Structure 1
């Protein structure tokens, strides 16, 4: 399998970025190759296209499947497993956010709650900072939960409003403050 220059640059960049995102370089490259492929690829095609070992390809595909970022496909008349990525970019984004939340945010929130409930006492400053951090993460995860429930079209519309929403909040906060003073 020969990659075009565009594909090769994208795949190499994704491999480099993968290590910054906490995944193996080869895993990032496998994902990038599948993302750009117009048809599902089997492990042999991936191995050949990236010039990596078959075992690296297998391990990378397993990791991507664990993240729900690749889909197993069967090609009629072929017994090999083929892989592809979701077509919808918003679905991919939602998967990534959900998986990062599950793997990084949720355990941290659990630990913060545990420290507040059963941790050593006597360090008022540390206790206050832990409580403050837990409250902020709970606020953010609550917002995430609300956004996760929105249909993609409504979420995109909300995101495109961006600073207009902030302006509206500023205006309503000012109106609230004025009515409170009276």
Structure 2
């Protein structure tokens, strides 16, 4: 248990785990799931469920369910540990890959169903008589926005990592570059 104690004996690590759990809760993720993710992210060695439960003071059954959820999000993976038959887990530690996986998971669980529901609403609204044209136009605007965001997201997944990092670091400077490319002077 030395490995875990090294992590959880650190005030900074404990604060990170608590903060990540709180942030997860604000994003609609169970606090325990987020805390387990934080612990595995900080750990330099794979941990088993018993170690995680003991370290975080979380019930073993809660740890098992949380691990399944994190595996489903592809944020952690099972790894074999020589001489130990228990399942051990380690987190994805590449923060860019982790961010992409979280974004993909949220898109699949939240944006895609919303897009499908909106598509059905627009289709129904287009066949109904008596619907206020403003309501239809606003539904279509929302549908177009989600389609554009979806296309942008899929495009960003094809950008090589170094260029994606550079693009994100550019921030609003991209607008100046777009103005230069379009022949307009930036303000």
TM-score (norm 2): 0.89
Deviation at 1:19, TM superposition (A): 1.1
1:115 maps to which residue?
Answer: 121
Are 2:37 and 1:31 equivalent residues in the alignment?
yes
Return 5+ residue gaps in structure 1 as ranges. 177-182
CA distance in 2, matches of 1:54, 1:131: 48
Aligned counterpart for 2:60 among listed residues 24, 38, 54: 54
Superposition pairs of residues 157-168 of structure 1, within 5 angstroms: 157-168=166-177
Aligned counterpart for 1:40 among listed residues 46, 51, 54: 46
- C-alpha RMSD over aligned residues: 1.6
Deviations 1:41-71 (A, max 9, x none): 0001100100110011001101111111111
CA distance in 2, matches of 1:99, 1:15: 18
CA distance in 2, matches of 1:29, 1:17: 10
CA distance in 2, matches of 1:56, 1:169: 49
CA distance in 2, matches of 1:172, 1:139: 21
Aligned counterpart for 2:141 among listed residues 132, 135, 147: 132
Deviation at 1:172, TM superposition (A): 4.1
2:98 maps to which residue?
Answer: 92
2:72 maps to which residue?
Answer: 66
The number of aligned residues is 176
2:165 maps to which residue?
Answer: 156
Deviation at 1:173, TM superposition (A): 4.3
Return 5+ residue gaps in structure 2 as ranges. none
SS of 2:85's equivalent?
Answer: coil
1:76 maps to which residue?
Answer: 82
